[in-house]
């Protein structure tokens, strides 16, 4: 098991990561915490739902392939959740096929990040989405403005 990642009070914002691969989750947490983000994490949709409130995160990163339901379904739920309806959502998937991006956009995602990605690319994406001015990169596909 990976050691826990300490989260200091986030000056840059609070990010909820929903990812079922422990190694990737750990790398994502480390990269974001190093940039001043506070990170909450969940391995599945059920645990993620419990972390949407008190207070809501500034951004939610959702893996599309989760063990209990799809990331698309979680994204749709987030969009219906009163406290999170306007929170930017970054979905992550192994393939950035047009149909995957179309499903993500319909589900309410703001951006699609193709796996695998470098930690620096994740940080740039998260920073730009939290600031409300996303910049497109090779691995990031914008779907809608936050």
Q: Residue 47 domain-assigned? A: yes
Residue in the block written with tokens 């620096």: 120
List beta partners, residue 40: 16
Predicted local confidence at residue 123, as pLDDT: 94
Q: What is the distance in angstroms between the CA of the first residue and the CA of the last residue of the chain?
A: 35
Domain assignment of residue 92, given as a range: 13-142
Q: What is the pLDDT of residues 93-145, one digit of tens each?
A: 987 678 888 899 999 999 999 999 999 999 999 998 998 865 555 555 566 55
| Count of structural domains, the chain | 1
- Candidates 49, 51, 67, 46; CA nearest to 14 is 51
Q: What is the pLDDT of residues 19-47, one digit of tens each?
A: 999 999 999 999 999 999 999 999 999 99
Global pTM reads: 0.86
Rounded-to-integer distance, Cα 128 and Cα 146, Å? 10
Q: Residue 4 domain-assigned? A: no
CATH number at residue 90: 3.40.50.2300
Predicted local confidence at residue 135, as pLDDT: 55
- Candidates 9, 7, 140; CA nearest to 17 is 7
Secondary structure class of 62 (helix, strand, coil): strand
């Amino acid at each position: 098991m990976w050691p826990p990642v300490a989260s200091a009070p986030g000056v840059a914002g609070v990010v909820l990561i929903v990812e079922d691969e422990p190694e990737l989750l750990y790398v994502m947490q480390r990269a974001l915490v190093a940039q001043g983000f506070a990170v909450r994490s969940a391995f599945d949709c059920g645990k993620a739902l419990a972390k949407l409130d008190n207070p809501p995160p500034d951004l939610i990163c959702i893996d599309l392939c989760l063990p209990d339901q799809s990331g698309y379904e979680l994204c749709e739920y987030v969009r219906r959740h009163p406290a999170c309806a306007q929170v930017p959502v970054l979905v992550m998937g192994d393939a950035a096929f047009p149909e995957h991006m179309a499903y993500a956009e319909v589900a309410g995602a703001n951006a699609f990040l193709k796996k695998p990605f470098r930690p620096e690319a994740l940080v740039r994406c998260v920073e730009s989405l939290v600031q409300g001015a996303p910049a497109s990169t090779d691995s990031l596909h914008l779907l809608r403005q936050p």
